Amino acid sequence: MGSHADFMAENGLYPRTRNLQKGAHVIVCGNEKGGTGKTTTSMHIAVSLLKSGFKVASIDLDSRQQSLTRYVQNRRAWAQSNNFVLELPNHYRFDSSSLDSVIESQSNDFSKFVRAVSEVEKEHDFVVIDTPGSDHFLMRLAHSMADTLITPLNDSFIDFDVLGRVDPDTHEILEVSHYAVMVREARRQRRSTDDGLLDWVVVRNRLSPLASRNQQNLLACVHQLAPRLGFRIADGISERMIFREYFPKGLTALDDLQAVNMGERQTTSHASARAEIGRLLRALRLPINEDGRRRAEYRKMWLENANREVELPDIFAD
């Protein structure tokens, strides 16, 4: 893993990457590629868990695009201006340091991030971390802190390439790619730090409704690679307008759009979108025990009975 890992190890940083007293379950959406649906998935997972009554924190590590931050901000602003109660995660935006010295800046970012995660994980049931589509050391660190890693994959061999290279004729796996190697390293680090296991789930995203030969070939390759890399495969998510059109309002396919969207009708696509997210959540097999379920039930009731005042968590940068 080269100099970053060395740098962290030299600075004695790995043993402190995770709070040993087990706090929140950390879900990371990661893929070393932009535009695969990490932010969309992060938001839908976070809102889905919130709607089930869990306490959820979200962390945006994509300091360049900050799409998840904007998604949450849009949701907060829209709820406020329409006087509507909408579930909001406690959101943390992570601004990378812009110090001159790379080493100093990394060390700063590193401890800021570790502090942020250890703080939030005490107070929440789940922490959802959205990562940038680039090989940044914080992205690697987030992967090594994950309990569950979700990798959305567009239904294309260009996207598959971040996991493995295939023979153009036989579709046999020729080589495991860089991102997969990075996840393997993150797993190793996680195990040596607190004996934790990283559950890796790959989900194909933006599936076309028409099953094509490409779709079948790709799925076959994903199945071939799964046991080699140790990931599970969740049912895919379809390409649907509803997954992207409500970003400016901060709404998701999980919201009751009929209620919040001034009379807009629920469509069958909406119901199917919800069902797909529901299936993904179930496929994640998150550790939700009886206590957690009970707490979640109380919070849900509280939220449903709350007057129309919206609880507004602060969005802060450090």
Ligand X SMILES: Nc1ncnc2c1ncn2[C@@H]1O[C@H](COP(=O)(O)OP(=O)(O)O)[C@@H](O)[C@H]1O
Residues that bind Mg ion (CB under 5 A): 38-39, 67
Of 192 and 212, nearer to ligand X (C-beta) is 212
| Residue span binding ligand X (CB under 6 A) among the ranges 75-83, 163-171, 240-248, 260-268 | 240-248
Q: Of residues 135-194, which lie at the interface with ligand X (CB under 6 A)?
A: none
What's the Cα-to-Cα distance from 176 to each of 63, 136, 184, 224, 276, rounded to whole Å?
28, 20, 11, 12, 29
Window contacting ligand X (CB under 6 A); options: 9-17, 34-42, 159-167, 254-262: 34-42
Contact partner at residue 206 from Mg ion, ligand X, none, CB < 5 to 8 Å by partner kind: ligand X
Does 243 engage in binding with ligand X (CB under 6 A)? yes
Give which of ligand X, Mg ion, none residue 240 binds (C-beta under 5 to 8 Å, depending on kind): ligand X
Nearer to Mg ion, 67 or 69 (CB): 67
Contact predicate 74/58, CB 8 Å: no
Residue with the two structure tokens 């009708």: 265
Q: How far is the CB of 276 from ligand X (least distance, A)?
A: 8
Site for ligand X contains 35 (CB under 6 A): yes
**What is the identity of the amino acid at 24?**
A
The answer to the question of residue 205 lying near ligand X (CB under 6 A) is yes
**Which CB atom, from 37 or from 292, has the smaller least distance to ligand X?**
37
Which stretch of DSSP H or E encloses residue 65? none
Using a 10 angstrom Cβ sphere, with 0-12 exposed, 13-18 middle and 19 or more buried, the burial of residue 5 is middle
Task: Give me the 41-70 binding string for ligand X, x by CB under 6 A, dash otherwise.
Answer: --------------------------x---
Record the tokens describing residue 11, joined without a space: 């600075």
* Cα dihedral 240/243/246/251 (nearest 10): 140
Angle between helices 67-81 and 38-51 (to 10 degrees): 40
| 305: Cα within 13 Å, side-chain hemisphere | 6
The contact set with ligand X (CB under 6 A) reads 34-40, 67, 133, 205-206, 237, 239-240, 243-244
